[in-house]
Chain A
Amino acid sequence: MNHTGGYVADPRIRAIEWLPWAIALLCYFVAPTYLPLGSYVLTMIIFALSLDLILGYGGIITLGHSAYFGTGAYAAGILAARLTGEPLIGLLAGTLAAGLLGLITGLIILRTRGLALLMLTLAITSLCFEVANKATSWTGGADGLGGFTIQPILGLFKFDFLGKTAYVYCLVVLFACWWLVRRLVYSPFGASLTGVRENNVRMHAAGAPVYRRLVIAYTISAALAGLAGALLTQTTQFVGLKVLGFELSGELMVMLILGGFGRIYGAFVGPLVFLVAQDYLAKQFPEYWYFGIGAMLVLVVMFARGGILGIIDAIIARLRRTQS
Chain B
Amino acid sequence: MQDFLSSLVSVAFHGLAYGMILYVISVGLSVTMGLMGFVNLAHGVFAMAGGYVMLSAMNSYGVSFPIAVATAFIAVAVASMVLERLLYSRLYTAGELDQVLFTIGLIFMSVAIARLVYGTLPQPVRLPDYLTGQLHFLGRDFPAYRVFLILFSISIIGLLWFGVERTRWGAMVRAAVDYRAMAQSVGINTSRLFTLTFALGSGLAALGGALGAEIIAIQPTYPFEHLVFFLIVVAVGGLGSLRGPFVAALLIGVTDTACKYWVPEFGAFFIFSVTIAVLLWRPEGLFGRAA
Q: Which of B67-75, B105-113, B138-146, B176-184 contacts A (4 or more CB under 8 A)?
A: B105-113
Q: Which of A115-123, A162-170, A177-185 contacts B (4 or more CB under 8 A)?
A: A115-123
Evaluate contact between A297 and B224: CB separation under 8 angstroms: no
Give the residues in chain A near B87, CB-CB below 8 Å.
298, 302
With A119-B279, A122-B231, A130-B269 in contact, do A290 and B104 touch (Cβ < 8 Å)? no
Give the residues in chain A near B210, CB-CB below 8 Å.
none
Evaluate contact between A295 and B273: CB separation under 8 angstroms: no
Indicate with 1 or 0, residue by residue over A84-98, a CB within 8 angstroms of chain B CB atoms: 000000000000000
Give the docked Cα–Cα distance between A306 and B213 (Å): 40
Evaluate contact between B275 and A298: CB separation under 8 angstroms: no
Evaluate contact between A123 and B100: CB separation under 8 angstroms: no
A35 at the interface (CB under 8 A from B): no
Evaluate contact between B284 and A116: CB separation under 8 angstroms: yes
Q: Which residue of A lies closest to B272 (CB)?
A: A127
Q: Which of B90-98, B156-164, B194-202 contacts A (4 or more CB under 8 A)?
A: B90-98
Give the residues in chain A near B272, CB-CB below 8 Å.
123-124, 126-127, 130
Evaluate contact between B112 and A290: CB separation under 8 angstroms: yes
Evaluate contact between B95 and A1: CB separation under 8 angstroms: yes
* Chain A, range 238-257, C-beta contacts under 8 Å to B: 246-247, 250, 253-254, 257
* Chain A, range 262-308, C-beta contacts under 8 Å to B: 286-291, 293-298, 300-302, 305
B235 at the interface (CB under 8 A from A): yes
Q: Which of A124, A254, A294, A305 has the most CB of B within 10 A?
A: A294
Give the docked Cα–Cα distance between A108 and B239 (Å): 21
Evaluate contact between A126 and B96: CB separation under 8 angstroms: no
Q: Which of B108, B109, B111, B268 has the most CB of A within 10 A?
A: B108
B218 at the interface (CB under 8 A from A): no
With A247-B224, A287-B112, A291-B109 in contact, do A112 and B283 touch (Cβ < 8 Å)? yes
Evaluate contact between B228 and A126: CB separation under 8 angstroms: yes
User: CB < 8 Å: which of B109, B235, B273, B279 contacts A298?
Assistant: B109
B101 at the interface (CB under 8 A from A): yes
Indicate with 1 or 0, residue by residue over B214-253, a CB within 8 angstroms of chain A CB atoms: 0000000000100010011011000100000000000000
A147 at the interface (CB under 8 A from B): no
A133 at the interface (CB under 8 A from B): yes
**CB of B48, distance to nearest CB on chain A (Å):** 14
Give the docked Cα–Cα distance between A290 and B108 (Å): 6
Evaluate contact between B231 and A119: CB separation under 8 angstroms: yes
Give the residues in chain A near B231, CB-CB below 8 Å.
119, 122
A134 at the interface (CB under 8 A from B): yes
Give the residues in chain B near A120, CB-CB below 8 Å.
276, 279-280
B186 at the interface (CB under 8 A from A): no
Evaluate contact between B280 and A254: CB separation under 8 angstroms: no
User: CB < 8 Å: which of B108, B267, B283 contacts A291?
Assistant: B108
Give the residues in chain B near A305, CB-CB below 8 Å.
98
User: CB < 8 Å: which of B228, B269, B276 contacts A246?
Assistant: B228
With A116-B284, A120-B279, A123-B276 in contact, do A301 and B232 touch (Cβ < 8 Å)? no
Give the docked Cα–Cα distance between A118 and B266 (Å): 24
Q: Which residue of B lies closest to A250 (CB)?
A: B104
Give the docked Cα–Cα distance between A126 and B224 (Å): 13
* Chain A, range 1-19, C-beta contacts under 8 Å to B: 1
B39 at the interface (CB under 8 A from A): yes
Give the residues in chain B near A126, CB-CB below 8 Å.
228, 268, 272
Give the docked Cα–Cα distance between A247 and B280 (Å): 24
With A124-B276, A247-B224, A290-B109 in contact, do A298 and B102 touch (Cβ < 8 Å)? yes
* Chain A, range 96-137, C-beta contacts under 8 Å to B: 108-109, 111-116, 118-120, 122-124, 126-127, 130-131, 133-134
Q: Which of A1, A253, A287, A300 has the most CB of B within 10 A?
A: A287
Evaluate contact between B96 and A61: CB separation under 8 angstroms: yes
B116 at the interface (CB under 8 A from A): yes
B3 at the interface (CB under 8 A from A): no
Indicate with 1 or 0, residue by residue over B253-291, a CB within 8 angstroms of chain A CB atoms: 000000000000111110011011001100111000001
Q: Which residue of B lies closest to A288 (CB)?
A: B112
Evaluate contact between A114 and B280: CB separation under 8 angstroms: no
Q: Which residue of A lies closest to B90 (CB)?
A: A302
**CB of A178, distance to nearest CB on chain B (Å):** 24
Give the residues in chain B near A298, CB-CB below 8 Å.
87, 102, 105-106, 109
* Chain B, range 72-96, C-beta contacts under 8 Å to A: 87, 90-91, 94-96
Evaluate contact between A61 and B268: CB separation under 8 angstroms: no
With A122-B231, A126-B268, A290-B112 in contact, do A115 and B33 touch (Cβ < 8 Å)? yes
B115 at the interface (CB under 8 A from A): yes
Contact residues of A with B, CB < 8 Å? 1, 55, 61, 63, 108-109, 111-116, 118-120, 122-124, 126-127, 130-131, 133-134, 246-247, 250, 253-254, 257, 286-291, 293-298, 300-302, 305
The 8 closest A-B CB pairs, nearest first, are A294-B108, A297-B105, A294-B109, A291-B112, A290-B112, A116-B283, A298-B105, A119-B235
With A55-B97, A254-B101 given, name 8 new contacts (CB 8 A): A115-B39, A115-B235, A123-B232, A123-B279, A126-B268, A127-B269, A253-B100, A301-B91
**Residue contacts A-B, CB under 8 angstroms, 24 given:** A1-B95, A112-B283, A115-B239, A118-B96, A119-B235, A120-B280, A122-B231, A123-B228, A127-B273, A130-B272, A133-B267, A134-B265, A246-B228, A247-B224, A254-B101, A289-B112, A293-B105, A293-B108, A296-B105, A297-B101, A300-B101, A301-B94, A301-B98, A302-B90
